[in-house]
Chain A
């Protein structure tokens, strides 16, 4: 038998066994001088269908259902016992031989899906990692998509989420967090070989995940696979009776971190005054423009604070001077807005089966997750359906079809304060209007101004919302032709992807009252309805020809050549109009406003065309070599640069196959891999970057009350735009020993990303445009990955106890090796800059000596700083900056490499030493698994609007944190009298706006407030129980499994010390959906995103 053509599927094993038993019965009577015996496995169970042959002779036999065999064997000969999945055993022939076959637990025969094919793990020479989704089954039931479940499973795979929103897409990066400072840098995701969205595929449909990490394994994908490839392979029907699997998970979500803040009105106001006056020296007239402030009110508040009995809703009076309500509440806006728990469910149903002629796999999934707010009916739903079939039309001709659709709907309540289409972030609005003194509702039941301004009124009334609806349909048809069986196989496929989506959004004004007899005020000024409909169509066709000549036992060769062509058309529109006639009926026929927009919303199309090939050769399974390459054409380049050729090569040496190690029984595999390759990056973000174009847009200025069309000069286009290139060198070691119990993989790599498409040398500003971009920068990434696994099983209490443990660590660091800049501006929290020699993620900042003490002040020992903060003057309790350059004052020069004043490198924000640890134990139907993951080293400096960290050190009207009360110096509520000092405290004197941007003392990074953001997290803990086989047999089921699982159950992080309101995986600027808080923007602040969730899941899987 040719072992190569066999698959490890158990159904095949059984089929084979049946066949051989039948064969044996035919020949059994003819044997004489027989050897008899039983073949059992390590646990004493009979091995059915094991081959028994006499070495050197043809023919043989196999074991029967009880594991018995008999065979005629001359004396002195050797019997060979073999069976798939077991180690082959040789014994001298004697009259009887009872054999214990040892299970082969090595991974060498595992089939791994690779680019345009399948390879045995033993033959792989690239940096390829694969994962069967069985390993993460319990983590897929509580997420909308697979990406969250993949976190921490594959070394070198970085899945980053900007927040915890259910429909948030991951940023997928392989080997390094920044792969290009020019364009792209994300990994290519292919679903059954076709580019797709990892976030819209049914997680329960995925059978395996393969990550191609180096240039050699991804080379045939050419310009798209430059920064690694993720191959998701969906499940297929097997040769069996119809099998139905149903799974259900019920999930409870709660946030990992419940932010704490001061909810006592007096306490909040007192620190507000201290912070405010420290900056301005005078009392405010209002608290953030809306809430009237006077000392009279403040004195009243002190009285009210004594009153512990009046319910919050009655803590108000009316100002006789102007008839306005004055509030004295202790309101927790956070608790008003957010619920403690929310829930969700998943249902998944699969039917599969087939024969040797045809098979099918049909699945459907429904996922729903409810909102985190106490109102607003937030909801995330997803529906997936897949129908997949394979038909053997002729023995040499197979047709596969794989069709699926995804429908995703979300409904989110919105808040608006201004007059436009950009909603505000309610997390952020707590920073602006969520003071505890104000109340949710007025005594007459009307909304307070705060409730309207925060957005809470809108959430409650439910008619300002955004719906995101998306539907996509994918069809993949594949024709496989065995031109010459097992030697020459042709395969062609055509895939069509259609996506249709719409974002619809309603803005409605809400009314608040400021006094019992004052009329209502509204915010925002007007109502508005918007739609952003889009369609995306992608057509892909591939054709490959694979040639595998039979070159005898010592040589094996596979030659594959192919062609890939792709066409994408994206169309998006933007419609908006003001004045809804009825707020609950948003429809184009029921709008009345003059202010409207009908415009293109960013349509584009692009095309790819490529020819590729791969030659794999192996000599005696010992020396492996593979070369591959692709000639790629991409519409995003000018015609003279459109085509590029990108080659790669890799070599493997299985040292364990060498004579000197051949007899080392304990050693299963020792393979050294080396690969090198170059790929071009065609992921230029703008599909028309090389073209000189002019856009026509609507004016904002009016002429005779009307808008008009306008244009402007085209931006100069880059000269000779060409491909970015990534050249990767990878050296890897695979080690497997003790019959697969011990497994170790290590890789070191260097990736040179060259000709990155970035802005060129600065030109004098008179040029009037950004310096044209070009292929001007190089970067080098050095990294390593190690994983170590151990698994074993024992018999405990009459049942097998099997367990496994696998740990991995990986790291990468990128350095800019070429960058042309005359000024070499330094990077800051607020702007991304590069210079030659820079390490990606560098944080530049000041060094701090401690606090300015009273003694310092008396001795005149206050180091002057260049920062100004209005009337604020350095005083006792402020941070004492260090004048590193001895210039007599602390400054930042001109923020360049050559002149950086007292700024020095103080840290790096790149997550380093990512690690994870997976553990599984199974015994008698009970399974326990846990996954720990974390980051070993990371620095974080909270950006200026990070209200959950800075509180009133930022905007004085922001929330106040209880721990801010421990300060180096506390002043009175006029900020003029020093009340107490405590130089052991962490927090300095309270001064508002002192963190507001790079021109304020703490707004630029310093080593004092630099936070360590490393963490260790129990990402998942699952306990499952599979009902005993005899129970389920009795009710004609195949299996029933119950499980309980928890995600993000426990976290260790140094952030808990000074930034307890932050989750280490949530240190990103707010919810990108609300278009506030962009990196580098004026509103840059961390932690206003959707919360990171802890999830409890209760699930059941039933197969019948």
Chain B
């Protein structure tokens, strides 16, 4: 009896613990199962949103580091050792984008029941991003192993694949771009927002193909192999570039704005000239650091315009500027883009809410040509990463320049083309009155670029002025095979006399005090500018007067047209062949 009772109690206790068979099967509730993810079009949209979020270029593109026309604190790349041991850019996270995009491309058709056009739009989106990713790799390393699908951890053939040649890699990129240009939608849902539309694809295709076309044309040998190109495709890419640009121009969808600086300083993106923006917005707390970097002596690189470059801005009447004069005079009657890019004597900004005339600060600039192109003219933005101006990634102005240059390089450029491209830019952005087709070469530019074609020279002038601080100049020098210009002497403003203070903008305050060591600064007002021979210091072009010369050792060599493949990558995959110059 008692035993029975005990057994009943024990049995009921055990029954209480009874568990169902899948007790140990637990599923996450905050994540999705990848097996069943691709169920509907929303899944595809959410997936491509991931590309937008991770791969849309950021405000960092505005940092003009390591070019000839902008002096900086430290062109890390061109001072430091480049060697395979410290080379980056080849980690698994650098390659994750390819895995991520390819995963999408092989799975997107798992979604049932969409129209072929819809599938193609999504495929085109994925392929557009893949092209952009691979192009970045090609610019850095040359040809790289190309993958059409995600790699399995045990797929030795793919993991240890050798590099595809640059010719092959670029062909795959071109294939992706062509697919994108044909299949991306032009439906308003995809246009003029963060999504990738056909217009963006065409614009980017013109950029990439111009790059490759001129690269092939100006580099006699492939720096990857050290030998001649296996195929002569310069004209093919130039034609593709011109064609893509032309197709976009033909849509008439975009036009050249008349307020040049407004393209770069407004919170709301303007899709008049802008084709693709990285949107920033204060309310949504998505902001960047450009104003801070351009106004700080230590956060940024003290980007400063080189006087030779400043000199290349045309006069308003369309003639080249040839005189040497003091800083404030230089801004008189010049291409309006000069005062929109570099701080002019009339520059005012809000300081603590009040509008104040502001002169270049030699704690921030080396040359006196202090960039303002991206600045919000308010010191509230000077110390924090709170800039809200949306950043155009590609704009119609560049497309016109791409078109002009591709056509000119092909020898097919006409006066009508000029009037449809460069002339419009000069007129709308530069306020230049005489925009006639050039017939004589500017001797200064001809000497600088070692070219004689007057049209090509004017296109290059236009491109450098129009696109400065938009992330193009280094690429341009690379494709023109003129990266040796990186080593050029940087010049600053004209100093008539040493050991003297100068009020640059005429507001009554001495802005700089230029002195040499013997003078000891003489107790004068103004930010001290010491003339000395130190690396990173200043001298004067004519000893005791002349243009300020900012001296910074740089050592670009031919070897640096491509980066080395990192040694660590070759250790893991000995089939990767090192670039010729780095062997």
Contact = CB atoms under 8 A, between A and B. Distances in A.
Contacts of A706: 284
A593 B282 CA distance: 10
A248 B287 CA distance: 54
B32 A419 contact: no
Interface in B383-412: 383-386
A181 interface: no
Contact of B95 (A396, A479, A494, A767): A767
Interface in A254-287: 281-286
B52 A701 contact: yes
A481 B6 CA distance: 7
Contacts of B153: 716, 719, 763, 767, 771-772
B49 interface: yes
Interface in A437-496: 479, 481, 483, 490, 492, 494
A494 B104 contact: no
A703 B19 contact: no
B283 interface: yes
Contacts of A772: 153
A534 to B, nearest CB: 13
Interface in A675-706: 687-688, 691-696, 699-706
B445 interface: no
Contacts, number: 261
Given A603-B30, A702-B284, A490 B151 contact: no
A713 B363 contact: no
B536 interface: yes
A578 B91 CA distance: 37
A716 B95 CA distance: 14
B321 interface: no
B323 interface: no
B160 interface: yes
Contacts of B297: 284-286
A603 B26 contact: no
B279 to A, nearest CB: 4
- Between A282, A710, A768, the greatest number of chain B beta carbons within 10 A of the residue's beta carbon is seen for A768
Contacts of A868: 80
B572 A765 contact: yes
A714 B284 contact: no
Given A595-B284, A603-B29, A710-B46, A765 B92 contact: yes
A860 interface: no
B227 interface: no
B33 interface: yes
Contacts of A980: none
Contacts of A768: 92, 95-100, 150-151
Interface SS of B by simple majority: loop
A782 B252 CA distance: 77
Contacts of A567: 23
A702 B53 CA distance: 8
Contact of A694 (B13, B34, B54): B34
A290 interface: yes
A704 B269 CA distance: 9
Given A692-B33, A703-B52, A635 B6 contact: no
A284 B298 contact: yes
Given A700-B53, A705-B281, A711-B47, A769 B96 contact: yes
A762 B572 contact: yes
Chain B interface residue bracket vs A: 35 or more
B251 interface: no
A604 B98 CA distance: 30
Interface stretch (A189-197, A515-523, A795-803): A515-523
Contacts of A713: 99-100, 103-104, 150
A633 interface: yes
A310 interface: no
Contacts of B52: 699, 701, 703, 708, 710
Given A419-B385, A762-B572, A767 B99 contact: yes
Nearest to A579: B283
Contacts of A659: none
A295 B284 contact: no
A281 B10 contact: no
Contacts of B1: none
Contacts of A716: 153
A683 to B, nearest CB: 15
A870 interface: yes
A764 B154 CA distance: 11
- Between B32, B287, B569, the greatest number of chain A beta carbons within 10 A of the residue's beta carbon is seen for B32
Contact of B50 (A607, A712, A766): A712
Contacts of A688: 26-28, 31
B89 to A, nearest CB: 9
Nearest to A490: B10
Given A419-B385, A767-B153, A771-B153, 16 more contacts: A282-B537, A289-B296, A295-B521, A594-B285, A605-B29, A688-B27, A695-B31, A699-B49, A701-B278, A704-B279, A710-B46, A711-B50, A713-B150, A763-B92, A767-B151, A768-B98
Interface of A: 281-286, 289-290, 295, 321, 396-397, 418-419, 479, 481, 483, 490, 492, 494, 518-519, 521, 523-526, 541, 543, 563, 565, 567, 578, 593-595, 600, 602-609, 633-635, 639, 642, 687-688, 691-696, 699-714, 716, 719, 762-772, 822-823, 868, 870-871, 894
Leading 9 A-B pairs by shortest Cβ distance: A768-B99, A285-B363, A703-B194, A713-B103, A595-B285, A600-B30, A710-B49, A693-B31, A519-B352
